[in-house]
Amino acid sequence: MTARASAGWLTAVAARAEAPVFLARGIGTADADARLRASPRLRVLDSPRAAAVLVVAGCVPTELAEPLARVHDQMAHPRATVWWSGAGDSAPPVGWSHATIVGPRDDIEAAVVAAYRDVITGARCSEQTLLPDVDPAPWRGVGPYGHGGTGMTGGIPYGRPMAGRGDDRRDGLTLDVVLARIGPFFAHLPEGLVLEVTFAGDVVHDLTVKTPPVAGVDGLGARLPDDAVTATMAPDRAVPVAAIELARARQHLRWLARLLHLYGLDALARLVATKALSVPREPQELTALTRRLERCWALGWATRGVGVIDGVSAALWGGPVARAAGIPRDARANSPVYATLGFQPIVHANGDNCDRWRQRLAEAVQAIELAARAGTAVTEPGETIEPAAPPPPADFGDQLAALLIGTEWGDAVATIASLDPDVNAAGYLSKGATV
Amino acid sequence: MTATAWWGAIAGVGLAIIVGAYLVAVADRAIASVVAGEPMRSSILAGPARSVALGLVQSRTTTERPDGAAWALAPALYLGLAAAALAVVPLSETLLAADIENGLVLFGAAQALAVIPVFLNGWSPNSILPLIGAFRFIAQALSYEMPNLLALLSVSVPASSLSIHDIVASQHGLWNVVRLPLGLPLFLFAAASLAFWGPMNLPDGADLAGGTQAETSGLHLVAWRAGRAAMLVAAAAMGAAAFLGGWLGPGLPGWAWMVVKTLVLLVLLVGSRHVAARVRAERYVVISWAVLIPLALLNVMIAAVVAL
Amino acid sequence: MVALAAFSVILAILGSSIALVLAGRWVAARADLPATAPERVPFSGGLPPEVHAWNRFHARYYVMALLFLTFDMEMVYMFPWAVVFRSEGTVAIGEIFVFISILALGILYAWRERSLGWS
Amino acid sequence: MSLQGALLIAAALFAVGLYGVLSQQSFVMIMMGFELMVNGSLMATVALWLWAAGGNPKGQVLAIVIMTAMAIEAAMGFALVTTIYRTRKADITEKLRRLKQ
Amino acid sequence: MIETPLAVDVAFWFFGVASVVTAWLVFRTDSMVRASFYLLASFVNVGVVLLLMRAEYLSLILILMMAGEMAIMAVFMVMFMMNPAGLNPMNMVHQHRASVAGGVATFVALGAVGVFARFPDRPARPTGVTFALGQELLGESMLVFESAGAALLATMIAAIALASSRGRYGQADDGSDAPAFDPDRPFGDAPPRPVASKHEEQAGKEGADDMHDMRNMDHERMA
């Protein structure tokens, strides 16, 4: 069933537009964002409303099945789903029989474009609502005080209560606070993470991390293979240094592409995403990009002094976050093979958002250099390998709350994005070890 | 004014808005290709038309309890105000849609009114992320409004007139961009802010999942984007008239000079999106008030001294 | 009446733009099916909202808004000043310097009190 | 279009504003009433300037002084509302009266 | 007298009546945002009428100023009004009948003055209006010009000092009352607060009174 019958020529023209895509990232989808973003035939949107194709990447835990269905329902008609995980010939998950199934190594771009063209031209039906069509709160007639007006459901207007007041932490003006649950498919949060945010105006009044990092998920679909992870998760084998470092560079570049999109630099994000898909083997190929970003005063201006993490908490975060705060902690510094390659950890001083993107960019360049120099060198079996994005500290939620309460929402999102906590890294490592 | 001239003026402004907005979309794609280091594709020219077709095909989403009338009005009013602002800018010495003694004030009024539709587009869906975008835009508007008006005021001082025709004529011999060097940057800052374009895109940023447009789809979204492009066109045309001498120039006919100058400013404005990151809301406000407004006041004083 | 004719052009442009967009919106959506309940849930990443988003929104820039309110009013005086400036000469320049510096004091005060940023 | 017509409309605006001032309970709505009353007087001023004062520029000056007064009233009103809300947590007149006791 | 074409007369009455209707809607809508923008619409309509009355500069500057002022009005309305979107319509009106009577009486009185009083018939010559205003401001009314600057400065400082939380003499809300019971939310969605003082019990009763008013208002609206 199509939502409407449009003129044939109109749909023919519309079908040739860039396919507007909303990406629902499941678990284990480090590659997905960059692969869609690098394609000039697709347009990755931040909101599902104007999207025509929902791309579900990776494994969606069963507890996220309902939010996924809701995001699907929020899309405008005509809409189609592409399920990008598992084997190409496997059956679609229950309830999603209408979806196109794409294997992890298949051409996702072609599949999305085909799904988009078919659903726009009417060759494929627009998908129905998945969740039951019931209003958020049942009609309870007239409220206890005879609260009147049209559409009133017993004192709770239109099925939802009104916001309540909360004391303000910043200027003592007691106005309303709004509880909102952001995620799990919000584009700039780590995949699967739900933040329960209380907004006082646009300032984060209170914040709780709701969904704990999901380890060893069983759910809809399966993980997409991710060489960035596989390269760093074999502690009992000798791994080529070049593979590890290229994977590191890839992961940093993917992250940078997302961050640039967050700051509105979509064309640069596309450039970086392209580089992340095929990491250049010569560090010189990144110098132009580095220079461009270092000279972009607006990017420095937007990130300087925001989300400062230093001292003890920086050490807890570890990895690039710690090094951006001037703590030269890096497992590679203790490795004999890295010593022969002349490895020195890169550090920055301030530990803010600005130093974090500089840190990751510099580490990407360094990783390419190391990979070029490493030749066929391998790590020693059992050696600790520095992950590109280490798992977040155990008290991740408290750390985030301490960092973000009282900040403006834009700063809060930017800080979370710059930290890039790999909330599922622990799950990967444990699973990898058992293989 | 004859009936033919009346209808011609309306048709001319409508055509200018449509062509201009389409050019903005094309320029945006072309500059993006250059920045991303990609080859120019044919989709750069045809892409915007295809997107409009998609907007016509796509259904319109809604929310649980929106303010429907205000929501519907928002993109229409925004586009309408952009068109009205463009109408006071002369294309050449003789070609102008609306010759008004206080044209500069009318332009400022149309820009000031444009705050309302942006706020309504974010307020109406009753959804938290667009709502934050709406309130951000009011902060933004209150900050760029003064630099904008003061930059416009500075060009009226040497001309001793609020008519845009007179302001262009007063630049015979010396353009305002030279006479008042602070004026054009301030004006372009305000222009990008007004269309919340690129680094000034506070209400519709990615951190709000699209902000005021996060709940919209279909033709509503197309009209919204068209309105932003039209606002850029109006501002670029005004910048060309007020600071770059409008139709003045050797060789070419006046209207051609005006078109060329408008396109130059348009490319500058559109390109800013691909080279500068979005600024933070609070810093935007503080810098506007503590730096840009004093600079704009200084610019007015310079104008007074120069004009004497 | 020449001026009013010019204004009628502007009014017509404004009105016809609004009418065209509204008409297009109505025509494009007339075949839409009514939205189902899940389709109407506001987007915040997949979970439904707890409360209505409409609330007593704590706009953090309310002090700056008050500053704007008074500062904006100066423009009422400055546009007529700009028109007569050249014919009035040095008197006008002295007057506007006084006027501008008085208002600049207001910004200075607000900046000193740190009232411009988010409260 | 005539002086009488303009004054009639101005009187209507003033009366609607007065109704708002008398009937509304919340401070901000009362201020809206005041603004409407000022709106009416602005219209009357310009009408008299055009038809009865021979276009004396002092009439225009009076009009912009009225506008300035409106802005000052609004700024002070909002500032007071903020202070009262901050200190008394009151936003309607009745509450304020009751808290005084 | 000034002779005007029919189209101008029609426009005059159209926008004049529209300004009164939108003014009336300010007090008839439940949404505070709509109320602010109805007020703006009223000002814009008056602006168009001023335009027809040859006061071109005043008209445009009124629209320009009011756009900013009403955006701020909307911000403050949403900040300080219970239920700013009018989702749960409440009666925020007192002495309704007396107010209507006062309004009607004022209209009749002022309207009678406007229609029946004899004003001098000295129409303006509508050329160089803005220029004349500027000359007046720099000439005879120079004092108005400069004292307006001083008054605006005083307003700025007073408004900032009043509204900001960081007064020079410590936190502005020191010694203030605890938040009172909120009659807008008797349904318990607000976080629970200790209810102890007499104040708040009284406020609770007031809440019930408001509910009573509300029923009455609904009846009125239906009627």
* Touching subunits for chain D (3+ Cβ pairs under 8 A): A, C, E
- The CATH number for A54's domain is 3.40.50.12280
DSSP-derived 3-state class of residue C8: helix
C49 interface with A at CB cutoff 8 Å: yes
Highest mean pLDDT among A207-216, B151-160, E210-219: B151-160
pLDDT at B293 > cutoff 50: yes
pLDDT at B72 > cutoff 70: yes
Interchain contact, A148 vs E215, CB within 8 Å: yes
Amino acid A433: pLDDT: 26
Interchain contact, C70 vs D71, CB within 8 Å: yes
Q: Under 8 Å CB-to-CB from A136, ≥6 apart: which residues?
A: A159, A160, B64, C37, C41, C48
Which of B44-48, B212-216, C72-76, C89-93 is predicted least confidently?
Answer: C89-93
Q: Which member of E88, E191, E218 has the closest CB to residue A164?
A: E191
Position C117 in a domain: no
Displacement of CA A111 from its chain's centroid (Å): 22
Mean pLDDT of B218-233: 94
Instruction: Name beta bridge partners: A342.
Output: none
Confidence grade of residue D34 (pLDDT, cut at 50, 70, 90): very high
State percent of chain A over pLDDT 90.
Answer: 19
Q: Which member of B116, B126, B145 has the closest CB to residue E37?
A: B116
Interchain contact, C72 vs E160, CB within 8 Å: no
Nearest to A323 by CA among A411, A390, A251, A372: A390
Domain span holding position C21: 2-112
Q: Which member of E65, E69, E156 has the closest CB to residue C67?
A: E156
Q: Are E77 and E32 in contact (CB under 8 A)?
A: yes
Among A47, A160, A170, A211, most C C-beta atoms within 10 A, so best to mutate, is A160
Nearest to A356 by CA among A406, A425, A424, A403: A403
Mean pLDDT of B294-303: 91
How many other C-beta atoms can be found within 10 angstroms of the C-beta atom of residue A134?
11
Total count of domains within chain A: 3
Among A68, A165, A178, A197, most C C-beta atoms within 10 A, so best to mutate, is A178
Asked if residue A316 and residue A288 are part of one domain, the reply reads: yes
Amino acid C3: pLDDT: 79
Amino acid E175: pLDDT: 40
pLDDT at A205 > cutoff 90: no
pLDDT at A90 > cutoff 80: no
Q: Tell me the shortest Cα–Cα distance from B302 to chain E, in angstroms.
A: 19
Higher pLDDT, A365 or C95: A365
Total count of domains within chain C: 1
Interchain contact, C41 vs A74, CB within 8 Å: yes
DSSP state of A206: E
* Touching subunits for chain C (3+ Cβ pairs under 8 A): A, B, D, E
Contacts of B276 in chain A (CB under 8 A): 265, 296, 298-299
Q: What is the pLDDT of residues A241-291, one digit of tens each?
A: 888 888 888 888 988 999 999 999 999 999 999 998 888 888 888 888 898
Asked if residue A257 and residue A147 are part of one domain, the reply reads: no
DSSP state of A152: E
Contacts of A181 in chain C (CB under 8 A): 44-45, 47, 49-50
Contacts of C29 in chain B (CB under 8 A): 59-60, 218-219
Assigned token pair, E95: 């002495």
Confidence grade of residue B3 (pLDDT, cut at 50, 70, 90): confident
Contacts of E203 in chain D (CB under 8 A): 95, 98
Higher pLDDT, A43 or C34: A43
String of b and e for C61-98 (b: at least 16 CB within 10 Å)? bbbbbbbbbbbbbbbbbbbbbbbbbbebeeebbebbee
Among B29, B31, B58, B196, most A C-beta atoms within 10 A, so best to mutate, is B58
Contacts of C57 in chain E (CB under 8 A): 75, 78-79, 84
Mean pLDDT of A215-228: 54
Displacement of CA B190 from its chain's centroid (Å): 8
Asked if residue A149 and residue A76 are part of one domain, the reply reads: no
Assigned token pair, A105: 């190594």
DSSP state of C45: S
Position C39 in a domain: yes
What end-to-end distance do the CA atoms of chain E give, in Å? 45
Q: How many angstroms separate the CA atoms of E128 and A105, rounded?
A: 75
Interface size, chain A vs chain D, as Cβ–Cβ contacts under 8 Å: 5
Per the prediction, chain A carries an average pLDDT of 80
Confidence grade of residue A434 (pLDDT, cut at 50, 70, 90): very low
Q: What is the pLDDT of residues A102-111, one digit of tens each?
A: 877 788 899 9
Higher pLDDT, E206 or A417: A417
Q: Under 8 Å CB-to-CB from A235, ≥6 apart: which residues?
A: A381, A382, A383, A384, A385, A433
**How crowded is the C-beta side of E99, counted as CA atoms within 13 Å?**
18
Q: How many angstroms separate the CA atoms of A316 and B182, rounded?
A: 48
Confidence grade of residue A424 (pLDDT, cut at 50, 70, 90): low
Asked if residue A273 and residue A160 are part of one domain, the reply reads: no
Contacts of B105 in chain E (CB under 8 A): 57, 60-61, 64
Domain boundaries, chain D: 3-100
Confidence grade of residue A63 (pLDDT, cut at 50, 70, 90): confident
Contacts of E31 in chain B (CB under 8 A): 67
Per the prediction, chain B carries an average pLDDT of 91
Position C89 in a domain: yes
Taking phi first (over 0 means left), then psi (-120 to 50 degrees means alpha), and beta for anything else, what does residue A317 get? Answer: alpha
* Touching subunits for chain E (3+ Cβ pairs under 8 A): A, B, C, D
Pairing of strands A100-102, A80-84: parallel
DSSP state of A378: B
In degrees rounded to 5, what are phi and psi of residue B219?
-65, -30
Position A217 in a domain: no
D64 interface with C at CB cutoff 8 Å: yes
| pLDDT averaged per 10 residues in sequence order, chain E, 223 residues | 80 94 90 92 94 90 93 91 74 78 87 83 76 81 83 88 64 42 41 38 39 38 36
Domain span holding position A304: 226-390
Q: Tell me the shortest Cα–Cα distance from E93 to chain A, in angstroms.
A: 16
E104 interface with B at CB cutoff 8 Å: no
Q: Are E112 and D12 in contact (CB under 8 A)?
A: no
Q: Are B51 and B37 in contact (CB under 8 A)?
A: no
Interchain contact, E111 vs D75, CB within 8 Å: no
Nearest to D91 by CA among A244, D82, C106: D82
Contacts of E95 in chain D (CB under 8 A): 22-23
- The CATH number for C73's domain is 1.20.58.1610
Asked if residue A252 and residue A161 are part of one domain, the reply reads: no
Position C118 in a domain: no
* Sheet containing A100-102: order of strands: A42-45, A19-25, A53-57, A80-84, A100-102
B125 interface with C at CB cutoff 8 Å: yes
What CATH number belongs to D3-100? 1.10.287.3510
pLDDT at B213 > cutoff 90: yes
Q: Which member of E56, E75, E85 has the closest CB to residue B102?
A: E56
Amino acid B216: pLDDT: 93
Residue at a domain's end among A365, A390, A415 = A390
Taking phi first (over 0 means left), then psi (-120 to 50 degrees means alpha), and beta for anything else, what does residue A31 get? Answer: alpha
Contacts of B198 in chain A (CB under 8 A): 264
Interchain contact, E130 vs B67, CB within 8 Å: no
Q: What is the pLDDT of residues A294-327, one digit of tens each?
A: 888 888 888 888 888 888 888 888 888 889 888 8
String of b and e for E50-87 (b: at least 16 CB within 10 Å)? bbbbbbbbbbbbbbbbbbbbbbbbbbbbbbbbbbbbbb
- DSSP strands (E only) in chain B: none
Position A256 in a domain: yes
Assigned token pair, E2: 């000034």
Asked if residue A146 and residue A47 are part of one domain, the reply reads: no
